[in-house]
Structure 1
């Protein structure tokens, strides 16, 4: 599972954590913890209170799941942002994370946790797409710019790896860019892609 960076990319490991531990994968495989990670990616450092408002979950539940994520090294506290001793801010530790089935092959527990994490990720991607389809009529100009595409290609495993590198480099460049100072209103946009062997 590639979270942010392709295997052969020059920047593949720059800030991207390679995961092989079952405990970390199990933490990622939880739907709400997965959502917290996404919220921190979109919003940046946040408190449990702000994450509670963002997700609609109780502050106590958010705090519990933040502790689980902190225990496996996926999030960390940012004490310099706190205005008093009671306020606790949290941020992502890594720009992204990745794992591969070959990395987990020697550990059945980690392999199972990795498969669960990948399944949760796919489920959430499909849910987001369905939610967009159900509400796209009220989306205004976004309805004309949202896109979907698919292609059938004939590739070797190495060529598929090269293709993934090119696609993810484009997404990484757009993600890392500084937004222009043009007063235009920007919203979070979710883009996902999968490439794998299949048959019609």
Structure 2
């Protein structure tokens, strides 16, 4: 497993505070390299605006040029910088840092729930097998902070194991058949675990 790049600089994290940038970064992570024009079409954004946001993501170290993919000098390809990225609001104690982490997290949460809503609205377009495999769950536990940290650590290890399994399958597949006929789809998994006082 690749070491996680931990973000502790507010200026770097600010690169993800904009909704279009989060979506661009997610598309590049999920779908692989693409041109700015392709990304603009997928997001329904202005190509010039999309290029600007890609350059800002590159300044923050989230994406990079992929010049070897260009067919001519006018075509510019982008890819996500390889490897996982993480951050913690505890690493941003200043008022400015807290404002940035709050903005980034709020946008991430909005996007996560929008994606769940979109799935629920289009659920019947998926096969019965996929509908049966998808799930939603919530639980109410009584834990200490240390126990919650242990639980989330175990869940993270489990997710990484399944992520690695998907990557290994993609790497072993022939380039002409990867994703075509192997039954794999992109799967969005997210969970939240936090204390609350009902």
Q: Shared topology, TM-score over 0.5? A: yes
Match of 1:89 in 2: 77
Higher helix share: 2
Contact (CA 8 Å) 2:35, 2:78: kept in 1 or not? yes
Whether 1:179 and 2:169 are equivalent positions in the alignment is yes
Matches within 5 A, 1:130-141: 130-141=117-128
Contact (CA 8 Å) 1:15, 1:94: kept in 2 or not? no
Structure 2 unaligned regions, length at least 5: 174-179
State the Cα RMSD in Å: 1.9
Contact (CA 8 Å) 1:19, 1:98: kept in 2 or not? yes
- Separation in 2 of the partners of 1:54 and 1:175? 24
- Separation in 1 of the partners of 2:82 and 2:154? 21
Matches within 5 A, 1:56-67: 56-67=44-55
TM-score by length of 1: 0.85
- Separation in 1 of the partners of 2:181 and 2:120? 28
Which of 98, 111, 115 is the equivalent residue of 1:111?
98
TM-score by length of 2: 0.86
Contact (CA 8 Å) 2:13, 2:60: kept in 1 or not? no
1:29/1:159 CA distance change after superposition, 3 Å: same
Question: How many pairs does the alignment contain?
Answer: 187
Q: CA deviation at 1:94?
A: 4.2
Which segment drifts farther, 141-150 or 51-60? 51-60
Q: CA deviation at 1:97?
A: 1.8
CA distances 1:73-109 after superposition (whole Å, capped 9, x unpaired): 111112222222222211122422222122111x221
Matches within 5 A, 1:1-200: 14-105=2-93, 107-141=94-128, 142-177=130-165, 178-179=168-169, 183-200=181-198
Structure 1 unaligned regions, length at least 5: 1-10
